[in-house]
C-alpha cells in the first residue's frame, strides 16, 4: 500500500514540475511548450485527478503578481492557458468516463472519489 502511494505521488510531482517548466517556457515565447503543459496536466489528472489544478493552475493564476514584466499576461495568454488546461483534463476523462460507465457504480466511485481522497 505504501509503495502504491509513493508511485502515484511521484507521478504527480513529475507532472507538476513538467507543467511549471512548460509555463515558464511558454512565458518566454516558446509556444511549443503548451503541448508539454497539456501532457503534464493530463499526466497529473491520471495520477490524482483534479488535484493537479491546485498545484499548477492556482499558482499560475497568481504569476502576474510575482513577475516584473506584466505585459506577457494578456487576455490571449489566459485564453491559451484555459484552452490548454481543458484539453489536458480531457485526456484522463477520455479514459475515466467510459471506464466508469463500463465498470459500474462501485468502480466509478473508486476512480472519481476515492482516488482523489
Residue 36 contacts residue 18 (beta carbons within 8 Å): yes
pLDDT 10s digits, 54-93: 999 999 988 888 877 766 788 888 899 999 999 999 999 9
Phi, psi for 72 (deg, rounded to 5): -75, -15
Q: Could you say which DSSP state residue 30 is in?
A: -
Scanning the chain, the segments in alpha helix (DSSP H) are 2-27, 33-48, 51-55, 57-61, 75-103, 105-109
Provide the CA 27 distance to its chain's centre, in angstroms: 17
Residues in the chain: 117
Average pLDDT of the chain is: 87
For the chain, the 3-state helix, strand and coil shares in percent, each to the nearest 5, are: 85, 0, 15
pLDDT 10s digits, 102-113: 988 888 888 887
Q: Is the pLDDT of residue 96 over 60?
A: yes
- Mean of the pLDDT values across residues 33-57? 92
Query: How much is the pLDDT for 98?
Result: 92
Q: Is the pLDDT of residue 97 over 60?
A: yes
Amino acid at each position: 500500500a505504501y509503495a502504491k502511494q509513493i508511485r502515484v505521488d511521484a507521478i504527480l510531482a513529475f507532472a507538476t514540475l513538467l507543467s511549471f517548466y512548460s509555463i515558464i517556457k511558454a512565458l518566454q515565447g516558446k509556444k511549443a511548450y503548451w503541448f508539454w503543459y497539456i501532457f503534464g496536466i493530463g499526466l497529473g489528472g491520471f495520477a490524482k485527478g483534479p488535484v493537479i489544478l491546485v498545484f499548477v493552475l492556482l499558482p499560475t493564476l497568481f504569476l502576474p503578481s510575482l513577475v516584473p514584466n506584466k505585459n506577457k499576461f494578456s487576455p490571449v495568454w489566459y485564453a491559451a492557458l484555459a484552452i490548454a488546461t481543458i484539453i489536458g483534463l480531457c485526456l484522463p476523462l477520455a479514459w475515466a468516463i467510459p471506464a466508469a460507465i463500463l465498470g459500474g457504480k462501485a468502480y466509478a466511485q473508486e476512480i472519481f472519489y476515492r482516488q482523489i481522497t
